Chain A
Amino acid sequence: MTEEQSGTVDLDKVMGEIQEEVRRRRAAGDFPPSLERELDLVFDRFVPVGPLDGDFGEAIKAADRAAYINVAVPTASQKPGVGEVKRVLRKAMAWYLEYLAQQITAFSTSTVRALRTLAERTTHLEEQLAEWRPAEDDGRDRPAEAPDLSEWEQAVVGHFSAVTGRVLHAECGQGAIVQALRDAGVDAYGVDPRGPLVDAAVAAGLEAWPDDPVSHLGAVADAGLAGLVLSGCVDRLSLGRQRLLVELAAAKLAPGGRLVILGVNPERWPEAVPALEADLAPGRPLHAVTWSHLLDRARFENTTTTDGAVMSLVTAVRPA
């Protein structure tokens, strides 16, 4: 209530009555306690920069805020006369500080703008990439059919005959290779993203885990494996992920560790897998010679290739 309108409306009284009305309405349930919070949450969905938008956006915002140099130093003081002294000092130094602040602000603002431009370009690039990048396939939705690797069991077992330590088969399917290795006295286990196949392997008394091969391999301790068998996933992953598999194999195999890659020959791939799986796969099988090349580049040794009717076997050894 101000002097201008006093006597016209007692606004303090009106305000008190409005607040009492709010209390009454809240008690009656017209304004539930969650009302404001719910409205806030709905609107927050549309705020462009939220706390979940990532550190980069938050960092730019923070830089933006910090770019402004305020030379108007606070001059208030509780001590008599000190505020006046501060004001005199601020005025006396203004020409000097303004000159510096102008240059610093210009630099900071330019830098933030450059960062913002970079962010926009990166976002644009990511959007373009998303348009033609195939969806990553973690394999869980593929038909739960056990791959027929029977013709390669002996060759694989032979490659690991002298191994002591854990051997991983990714993807293991129902565990035929794992079974063969265990029968040969090798400490083998498997992973496969297809739950029903893993269940069958476990039911057969094998150690098998439902997991994505790349993720699982990434989680294994460096040099934690004595041997590694890769099959299935090697045929359908994108080239980037196939190369990542080779890098992971190099990292996770102990010195002297052995690697087997069982891949479909690219020429036979259309008839080796269901059409749906082939069409939707992010990548394509590689020729055995290509795997061999990639392994050589990853400093594997003793690389060999063996071609079958449909599949090829590539073997290699980590340097001791």
Chain B
Amino acid sequence: MHQFIPSFVARDAIGGHALQVQSVLRGMGLSSDVYVANASSEHAAISRPYDSYRPRPGDWMLYQASTGHRMADWLLEQTPPLLVNYHNVTPPALLETWEPGLADEVAEGRRQIGKLAVAARHAIAVSRYNAAELDELGYRSTSVVPLILDLDAQAAEPDRVTLDWLARGKERGGVDLVFVGRIVPNKAQHELVKVLAAYRRAYDPRARLHLVGGAASPNYLRALRRFVGALDLWDAVDLAGSVSDAERAAYYAGADVLVCLSDHEGFCVPILEAMHAGVPVVAYGSTAIPETVAGAGVVLPAKTPALVAAAVHRVVSDSDLRGRLVDAGRARAEEFSPAHTRPRFAAAVQAALGESG
């Protein structure tokens, strides 16, 4: 069973998942290679161009679906049976104002997910939310297996320079809010800036916000910078950009709370990373987020700045609640350890193979 991934890159949740899946499949005695359209230098040696694939009798294809790519149309022309591992695709409406080209890409991606329903023997969704979308698209059978994350293995030693810098900020007072994710409109980082403004006004004028993640939308990043400037929050908002594993670990180590106000998440890995790192979570309950948090963090019914600011204040100021959330978060993160998720993925694959006789 060979995997097909449009973009196979390091420090990417789906890339890490694909490596875990390859290990699971090989552990089941299946031959498993990774075929890609693009690969980062770290992954180039362990992957092959997808158009070099030649089907062999008994082959299965497993498509890691997370965006639009002509690879999906190409897969429909191939003869081996197809499995789809669905990570969700951002609805174009959330991007079209900011990045029309990107919106075109995801619109194509969602169309392709619909087309694959006819060909796919089975689909494995990383959340129940995603599975519901597949059911609506007419997939004949679906199962839910979370992303396979080895949070213990990927937990790097926190970067010393970043830690020291964060510590110097703490010495001046004020709490540190953090969010990890690409700078894109559907992640709604601008809503986090609004929350910071409200929080500083009502609770803590020295509070800081760290937005960790590279920019996937230059237009949105530009607007975000201007917004921060217009609110005179330059010294309080840290647009950290793309960071190394060690730097990300430092941000988690220095954070008082992870706040997530995304409008669309098919899973949301940073929530689990924060829980694993002992950072309490406050999140807006959109799409798959309530399912991922599952009671181990504060999930809000709305993201008005006042409500989120009050929730953040409660979490950072109530030490008993904070301790309970940290414990619950660690337990929740453990539920996603490979020891739990790898057998579930293997069982889903086995069931799909069995169904096909």
Q: Are B201 and A4 in contact (CB under 8 A)?
A: no
Q: Are B219 and A48 in contact (CB under 8 A)?
A: yes
B183 beta carbon closer than 8 Å to chain A: no
CB distance from B224 to the nearest CB of A (A): 8
Interface residues of B in 216-270 (CB under 8 A from A): 219, 222-224, 226-227, 230-231
Q: Kindly state the separation between the CA atoms of A70 and B100 in the bound complex, as whole angstroms.
A: 19
Q: Kindly state the separation between the CA atoms of A4 and B293 in the bound complex, as whole angstroms.
A: 10
CB distance from B265 to the nearest CB of A (A): 17
Q: Are A18 and B314 in contact (CB under 8 A)?
A: yes
B310 beta carbon closer than 8 Å to chain A: yes
Q: Are A46 and B307 in contact (CB under 8 A)?
A: no
Residue of B nearest to A29 (CB): B202
A6 beta carbon closer than 8 Å to chain B: yes
Q: Are A64 and B96 in contact (CB under 8 A)?
A: yes
Q: Are B231 and A35 in contact (CB under 8 A)?
A: no
CB distance from B141 to the nearest CB of A (A): 13
A284 beta carbon closer than 8 Å to chain B: no
Chain B at the A interface: mostly helix, strand, loop or mixed? helix
Q: Are B111 and A5 in contact (CB under 8 A)?
A: no
Q: Are A17 and B314 in contact (CB under 8 A)?
A: yes
Residue of A nearest to B202 (CB): A30
CB distance from B232 to the nearest CB of A (A): 11
Q: Kindly state the separation between the CA atoms of A70 and B335 in the bound complex, as whole angstroms.
A: 36
Q: In the complex, which of the residues B97, B110, B295, B310 contacts A11, with contact meaning CB atoms closer than 8 Å?
A: B295
Q: Kindly state the separation between the CA atoms of A69 and B114 in the bound complex, as whole angstroms.
A: 11
Q: Are B324 and A8 in contact (CB under 8 A)?
A: yes
Q: Are B328 and A9 in contact (CB under 8 A)?
A: yes
Q: Mark B321-347, 1 if CB is under 8 A from A, else 0.
A: 100110110011001000000000000
Chain A at the B interface: mostly helix, strand, loop or mixed? helix
Also in contact, A26 and B306, with CB within 8 A (given A4-B295, A68-B107, A72-B138): yes
Q: Kindly state the separation between the CA atoms of A67 and B100 in the bound complex, as whole angstroms.
A: 13
Q: Are A94 and B313 in contact (CB under 8 A)?
A: no
B50 beta carbon closer than 8 Å to chain A: no
A59 beta carbon closer than 8 Å to chain B: no
Query: CB-CB < 8 A to A4: which residues of B?
Result: 294-296, 332, 335
Also in contact, A68 and B296, with CB within 8 A (given A19-B307, A30-B201, A45-B230): no
Q: In the complex, which of the residues B104, B223, B311 contacts A47, with contact meaning CB atoms closer than 8 Å?
A: B223
Also in contact, A68 and B201, with CB within 8 A (given A21-B313, A42-B227, A48-B219): no
A293 beta carbon closer than 8 Å to chain B: no
Q: Kindly state the separation between the CA atoms of A91 and B136 in the bound complex, as whole angstroms.
A: 11
Q: Mark B104-137, 1 if CB is under 8 A from A, else 0.
A: 1001101100110110000000000000000011
- Stretch from B142-150, B165-173, B190-198 contacting the other chain: B190-198
Q: Are A5 and B202 in contact (CB under 8 A)?
A: no
Q: In the complex, which of the residues A6, A21, A42, A49 contacts B97, with contact meaning CB atoms closer than 8 Å?
A: A49
Q: Kindly state the separation between the CA atoms of A204 and B107 in the bound complex, as whole angstroms.
A: 70
Most buried by B among A17, A39, A69, A98: A39
Residue of A nearest to B107 (CB): A68
Q: Mark A20-41, 1 if CB is under 8 A from B, else 0.
A: 0110011000110001100110
B304 beta carbon closer than 8 Å to chain A: yes
Q: Kindly state the separation between the CA atoms of A211 and B151 in the bound complex, as whole angstroms.
A: 73
A2 beta carbon closer than 8 Å to chain B: yes
A14 beta carbon closer than 8 Å to chain B: yes
CB distance from B350 to the nearest CB of A (A): 25
Query: CB-CB < 8 A to B306: which residues of A?
Result: 22, 25-26, 31, 35-36
B305 beta carbon closer than 8 Å to chain A: yes
Q: Kindly state the separation between the CA atoms of A98 and B76 in the bound complex, as whole angstroms.
A: 12
Q: Kindly state the separation between the CA atoms of A4 and B297 in the bound complex, as whole angstroms.
A: 12
Q: In the complex, which of the residues A6, A19, A72 contacts B114, with contact meaning CB atoms closer than 8 Å?
A: A72
Also in contact, A70 and B328, with CB within 8 A (given A9-B321, A18-B310, A48-B219): no
Interface CB pairs A-B, < 8 A, 7: A8-B296, A14-B298, A26-B306, A47-B97, A64-B104, A98-B114, A109-B104
Chain A positions within 8 Å of B, measured between CB atoms, are 1-6, 8-9, 11, 14-15, 17-19, 21-22, 25-26, 30-31, 35-36, 39-40, 42-43, 45-49, 61, 64-65, 67-72, 87, 90-91, 94-95, 98, 101-102, 105, 109, 113, 116
Chain B positions within 8 Å of A, measured between CB atoms, are 92-93, 96-98, 100, 103-104, 107-108, 110-111, 114-115, 117-118, 136-138, 190, 194, 197-198, 201-202, 219, 222-224, 226-227, 230-231, 294-296, 298-301, 304-307, 309-311, 313-314, 321, 324-325, 327-328, 331-332, 335
In order of increasing CB-CB distance, the 7 nearest A-B pairs are A5-B295, A46-B223, A2-B295, A30-B202, A31-B306, A39-B194, A21-B310
